[in-house]
Amino acid sequence: MLEPEQDDVSEHNAGQSIDKTEAALDSVTDDAIQNHGSDPKQTLHQPAKDVDLHVIDHADHISHHSWMSKRSAVNALRNIEANFHLGNYVIDRSTREKHFENMSVYVRLGMHLLYYGSRQENILQWQKTEHILKAQTKKMGKEYDTPESTAHIAPFIKSFHLEDSMLDMIEPDPTKYKTFNEFFGRAIRPEARPIAEPDDTNVFSSPADCRLTAFQTIDLATKYWIKGYNFTIERLIVDPLTAKAFDQGSIVIARLAPQDYHRWHSPIDGIVENVYDIPGTYYTVNPQAINQEGSLNVFCQNRRSVMLVRQKNGSQVAIIAVGAMLVGSIKYVDKSDVPGTEIKRGQCLGAFYYGGSTVIVLYPKGEITIDEDIVKNSSDEKCETLVKTGWRIGSRTTRLSSSSSTSTS
């Protein structure tokens, strides 16, 4: 344990590091705002490996990485990059190929703030971190709600190769959107995301175009994936009585990257029983943050909205929209959040506005049998699986008879 004098020095150094990180993040967001028509991969979404961050990285990992990159094979280098929090592996479910996705500079900066914020013994640093993240999120949200922000749309589409995907949208013409946020939360044509096995109400779907992990029990999720301290379902949904319904239940975690279609859909049929919001901050939901031992548990710290849905077999499912770094808002659509509303599998429930975000689905114990490939990717490979909205991710463990279910077609 540190002596008081040593602790004072440690707090001083942490404070200086937070100040440097804040200045760097402010510079990155300023650059994105001031350069409307620039390639986002030269501002907010610039790969962290291409940026010299050693001035705020106390371990100087980036400098080491630059030296080693000249001496390593591609796969070895990518493992190094993953260890240094510069990216993540994702498995494409369609092709079974494993891809390395670089972390953006703004997410890397958010990782620095998460580390400093996790100092349980230093609540003032945590509060400062929350203030920084909220201020930056509001700053970008305000910018992307202005008419001038439409200048960001064309370079964003080009940089992330979204030209073909725009054909799936209800409004395919990028010039018709009035703000960047309106474009970011764009709606898709229902026929572009058909649900798998629509006549089988025992099938459960992916809630989003996302990078997905899923675990048969919460214990497995905390063993293989969620490493932040003190994660519990009660802390996640802030309702002790409801949390008991998901004791030893299953969890599906759908992470949306900025380049994804940014709405979420119902994975089930059911009746909306309750929707409530939980205030919080805006930590990054990048896997490197979720997998970091001993850090703050971002799912239980970030702003989120909980929807409780009752299925026809009587069991309850929780669909939780989680905000993240630079996510301006979480909005339900078509009054889907009104209690008593009947929702169908594949139905659009809401939209996120700018940034990465996550949808978590909780199932009661024994409700879902997750598809084998997703289980393997999540647990054995410790990787996310790239899936689309409506794709099958599992089925009901105890199948409903045809007489007690109705078609969703």
d(CA 55, CA 171): 44
Specify the pLDDT at position 405.
41
Residue of 265, 295, 305, 379 marked active site: 265
Is 80 among the domain residues?
Answer: no
Q: H or E segment at 289? A: helix 287-290
d(CA 90, CA 385): 6
Within 10 angstroms of residue 377's Cβ, the number of other Cβ atoms is 24
Is 11 among the domain residues?
Answer: no
Is 222 among the domain residues?
Answer: yes
- 61 noted as active-site residue: no
Q: Which domain does 375 fall in, by range?
A: 193-404
Is 259 among the domain residues?
Answer: yes
Q: What is the DSSP letter of 379?
A: I
pLDDT grade, residue 344 (50/70/90)?
Answer: very high
Specify the pLDDT at position 36.
76
C-alpha separations of 21 from 25, 121, 185, 199 in Å: 6, 20, 29, 52
Angle (nearest 5°) at CA 56 between 52 and 57: 80
Instruction: Tell me what percent of the residues of the chain surpass a pLDDT of 70.
Output: 83
- 64 noted as active-site residue: no
Residue 58's closest CA among 116, 130, 4, 103? 116
d(CA 88, CA 79): 9
Residue of 315, 357, 378, 379 marked active site: 357
> pLDDT digit string (tens) for 9-37?
455 555 677 888 888 888 889 998 888 78
Is 27 among the domain residues?
Answer: no
Is 269 among the domain residues?
Answer: yes
Q: Could you tell me if 393 and 371 are in contact, meaning their C-beta atoms sit under 8 angstroms apart?
A: yes
Phi, psi of 5 (to 5 degrees): -65, -40
In this predicted model, which residue has the larger pLDDT, 113 or 140? 140
d(CA 219, CA 284): 23
Amino acid code (one letter) for 256? L
d(CA 273, CA 244): 17
- 209 noted as active-site residue: yes
Q: Could you tell me if 265 and 389 are in contact, meaning their C-beta atoms sit under 8 angstroms apart?
A: yes
Angle (nearest 5°) at CA 213 between 250 and 248: 15
3-state secondary structure of 156: helix
Domain count for the chain: 1
Angle (nearest 5°) at CA 177 between 174 and 183: 80
d(CA 107, CA 87): 10
Amino acid code (one letter) for 117? G
Whole-prediction pTM value?
0.87
> pLDDT digit string (tens) for 159-188?
999 999 999 999 999 999 999 999 999 999
d(CA 59, CA 222): 27
Specify the pLDDT at position 16.
72
Which residues, listed in sequence order, are joined to residue 294 by a DSSP beta bridge?
none
